[in-house]
Amino acid sequence: MKSNKVSIKEILTIISQIEGILNSRPLSSLSCDPTDLSVLTAGHFLIRRSITSVVEPEIIGTPDNRLSRWQITIKVVQFICKRWHRDYLNHLQQLSNWKFEKNDLKIGSLVLLKEDNLPPCKWVIGRVKDVIPSSDGKIRVANVQTQSGLYRRGISKLCVLPTNNE
Protein backbone atom coordinates (compact mmCIF):
# COMPACT_ATOMS: atom_id res chain seq x y z
CA MET A 1 0.00 0.00 0.00
CA LYS A 2 3.04 2.24 -0.30
CA SER A 3 2.03 3.86 -3.60
CA ASN A 4 -1.70 4.16 -2.86
CA LYS A 5 -3.16 7.36 -1.49
CA VAL A 6 -5.68 6.83 1.26
CA SER A 7 -8.81 8.95 1.51
CA ILE A 8 -10.10 10.38 4.78
CA LYS A 9 -13.07 7.95 4.64
CA GLU A 10 -10.68 5.00 4.36
CA ILE A 11 -8.60 6.27 7.28
CA LEU A 12 -11.74 6.69 9.41
CA THR A 13 -12.86 3.18 8.46
CA ILE A 14 -9.46 1.74 9.42
CA ILE A 15 -9.44 3.61 12.73
CA SER A 16 -12.99 2.58 13.68
CA GLN A 17 -12.33 -1.08 12.83
CA ILE A 18 -9.11 -1.07 14.85
CA GLU A 19 -10.99 0.56 17.72
CA GLY A 20 -13.49 -2.30 17.65
CA ILE A 21 -10.68 -4.85 17.67
CA LEU A 22 -8.98 -3.21 20.64
CA ASN A 23 -12.26 -3.01 22.53
CA SER A 24 -12.93 -6.72 21.92
CA ARG A 25 -9.87 -7.92 23.84
CA PRO A 26 -10.56 -9.99 26.96
CA LEU A 27 -9.71 -8.21 30.22
CA SER A 28 -10.89 -10.59 32.94
CA SER A 29 -13.43 -13.33 33.62
CA LEU A 30 -17.03 -12.30 34.21
CA SER A 31 -17.67 -14.94 36.86
CA CYS A 32 -15.89 -17.35 39.17
CA ASP A 33 -17.83 -20.30 37.76
CA PRO A 34 -15.26 -22.80 36.41
CA THR A 35 -17.56 -23.79 33.54
CA ASP A 36 -18.19 -20.20 32.42
CA LEU A 37 -15.92 -19.00 29.60
CA SER A 38 -17.43 -15.51 29.31
CA VAL A 39 -15.01 -12.61 29.67
CA LEU A 40 -15.19 -8.92 30.42
CA THR A 41 -14.09 -6.74 27.51
CA ALA A 42 -13.81 -2.99 27.03
CA GLY A 43 -16.88 -3.35 24.81
CA HIS A 44 -18.94 -4.20 27.90
CA PHE A 45 -18.32 -0.67 29.20
CA LEU A 46 -19.32 0.85 25.86
CA ILE A 47 -22.26 -1.25 24.63
CA ARG A 48 -22.85 -3.68 27.54
CA ARG A 49 -21.72 -6.73 25.54
CA SER A 50 -18.72 -8.03 23.62
CA ILE A 51 -17.90 -6.42 20.30
CA THR A 52 -18.10 -8.76 17.33
CA SER A 53 -17.26 -8.27 13.69
CA VAL A 54 -17.91 -9.84 10.33
CA VAL A 55 -15.10 -12.21 9.41
CA GLU A 56 -13.42 -11.10 6.20
CA PRO A 57 -11.25 -13.54 4.23
CA GLU A 58 -7.55 -13.04 4.97
CA ILE A 59 -5.90 -11.06 2.18
CA ILE A 60 -2.59 -10.04 3.76
CA GLY A 61 -0.59 -12.07 1.22
CA THR A 62 -2.51 -10.80 -1.81
CA PRO A 63 -0.73 -8.18 -3.97
CA ASP A 64 -2.30 -4.69 -3.80
CA ASN A 65 -2.78 -4.47 -7.57
CA ARG A 66 -5.32 -7.33 -7.38
CA LEU A 67 -7.41 -5.69 -4.64
CA SER A 68 -10.26 -3.18 -4.67
CA ARG A 69 -10.08 -0.08 -2.47
CA TRP A 70 -12.24 -1.79 0.17
CA GLN A 71 -9.99 -4.85 0.17
CA ILE A 72 -6.91 -2.66 0.56
CA THR A 73 -8.55 -1.05 3.59
CA ILE A 74 -9.33 -4.50 5.03
CA LYS A 75 -5.75 -5.61 4.31
CA VAL A 76 -4.38 -2.70 6.37
CA VAL A 77 -6.75 -3.54 9.25
CA GLN A 78 -5.80 -7.24 9.11
CA PHE A 79 -2.08 -6.43 9.09
CA ILE A 80 -2.38 -4.08 12.09
CA CYS A 81 -4.67 -6.53 13.92
CA LYS A 82 -2.37 -9.51 13.40
CA ARG A 83 0.61 -7.53 14.65
CA TRP A 84 -1.24 -6.10 17.65
CA HIS A 85 -2.80 -9.47 18.53
CA ARG A 86 0.65 -11.09 18.68
CA ASP A 87 2.17 -8.22 20.65
CA TYR A 88 -0.76 -8.07 23.08
CA LEU A 89 -0.59 -11.79 23.87
CA ASN A 90 3.18 -11.58 24.33
CA HIS A 91 2.73 -8.62 26.69
CA LEU A 92 0.00 -10.44 28.61
CA GLN A 93 2.23 -13.48 28.93
CA GLN A 94 5.20 -11.40 30.13
CA LEU A 95 2.95 -9.63 32.63
CA SER A 96 1.74 -12.91 34.09
CA ASN A 97 5.33 -14.24 34.19
CA TRP A 98 6.40 -11.09 36.01
CA LYS A 99 3.56 -11.27 38.55
CA PHE A 100 3.47 -15.02 39.09
CA GLU A 101 5.80 -17.97 39.00
CA LYS A 102 5.37 -20.45 36.15
CA ASN A 103 3.98 -23.02 38.59
CA ASP A 104 1.11 -20.68 39.52
CA LEU A 105 -0.97 -21.97 36.61
CA LYS A 106 -3.89 -23.45 38.51
CA ILE A 107 -6.79 -25.68 37.62
CA GLY A 108 -9.73 -23.43 36.80
CA SER A 109 -7.60 -20.49 35.59
CA LEU A 110 -9.10 -18.61 32.65
CA VAL A 111 -6.59 -18.47 29.79
CA LEU A 112 -6.22 -17.21 26.25
CA LEU A 113 -4.72 -19.69 23.82
CA LYS A 114 -2.11 -18.28 21.48
CA GLU A 115 -3.36 -19.33 18.05
CA ASP A 116 -2.08 -18.21 14.67
CA ASN A 117 -4.38 -16.92 11.94
CA LEU A 118 -7.36 -15.92 14.05
CA PRO A 119 -9.69 -13.32 12.52
CA PRO A 120 -10.02 -9.90 14.20
CA CYS A 121 -12.14 -9.79 17.38
CA LYS A 122 -11.75 -13.58 17.79
CA TRP A 123 -10.08 -14.99 20.88
CA VAL A 124 -9.75 -18.64 21.93
CA ILE A 125 -10.68 -18.68 25.62
CA GLY A 126 -10.53 -21.69 27.89
CA ARG A 127 -10.24 -22.93 31.45
CA VAL A 128 -7.38 -25.07 32.69
CA LYS A 129 -8.75 -28.54 33.43
CA ASP A 130 -5.52 -30.06 34.69
CA VAL A 131 -1.80 -29.37 34.67
CA ILE A 132 0.90 -31.82 33.72
CA PRO A 133 4.19 -31.41 35.58
CA SER A 134 7.44 -32.56 34.02
CA SER A 135 10.00 -34.81 35.72
CA ASP A 136 11.53 -31.80 37.52
CA GLY A 137 8.15 -30.86 39.04
CA LYS A 138 7.64 -27.72 36.91
CA ILE A 139 4.38 -27.30 35.05
CA ARG A 140 5.07 -27.31 31.32
CA VAL A 141 1.78 -28.54 29.80
CA ALA A 142 -1.89 -28.06 30.61
CA ASN A 143 -5.19 -29.44 29.36
CA VAL A 144 -7.52 -26.56 28.52
CA GLN A 145 -11.28 -26.81 28.00
CA THR A 146 -12.63 -24.43 25.35
CA GLN A 147 -16.05 -24.14 23.73
CA SER A 148 -14.85 -26.34 20.88
CA GLY A 149 -13.21 -29.07 22.96
CA LEU A 150 -10.27 -30.07 25.12
CA TYR A 151 -6.77 -29.01 24.04
CA ARG A 152 -3.35 -29.92 25.39
CA ARG A 153 -1.01 -26.91 25.19
CA GLY A 154 2.41 -25.99 26.46
CA ILE A 155 2.32 -23.12 28.92
CA SER A 156 4.22 -20.98 26.40
CA LYS A 157 0.99 -21.00 24.32
CA LEU A 158 -1.22 -19.92 27.24
CA CYS A 159 -1.85 -16.45 28.63
CA VAL A 160 -3.51 -16.33 32.05
CA LEU A 161 -6.20 -13.68 32.40
CA PRO A 162 -6.43 -11.84 35.72
CA THR A 163 -9.29 -12.86 38.00
CA ASN A 164 -11.36 -10.85 40.46
CA ASN A 165 -9.17 -12.11 43.32
CA GLU A 166 -5.98 -10.54 41.96
How does pLDDT run across 124-139, given as a tens digit for each residue? 889 999 998 888 888 8
pLDDT band at 4 (very low <50, low <70, confident <90, very high): low
**Residues of 43-67 as b/e, b for ≥16 C-beta within 10 angstroms?**
bbeeeeebbeeeeeeebeeeeeeeb
Question: Which residue from 110, 53, 60, 63 is spatially nearest to 83, judged by alpha carbons?
Answer: 60
Element (H, E) at 41: strand 39-41
Which domains, and CATH codes, for the chain? 8-160 (2.30.30.30)
How does pLDDT run across 45-103, given as a tens digit for each residue? 888 887 777 778 888 888 888 989 889 899 988 888 888 877 877 777 765 554 445 44
pLDDT band at 165 (very low <50, low <70, confident <90, very high): low
Report how far residue 148's alpha carbon sits from residue 81's, in angstroms, rounded to the nearest whole number: 23
Residue 62 and residue 79 in contact, taking contact as beta carbons nearer than 8 Å: no
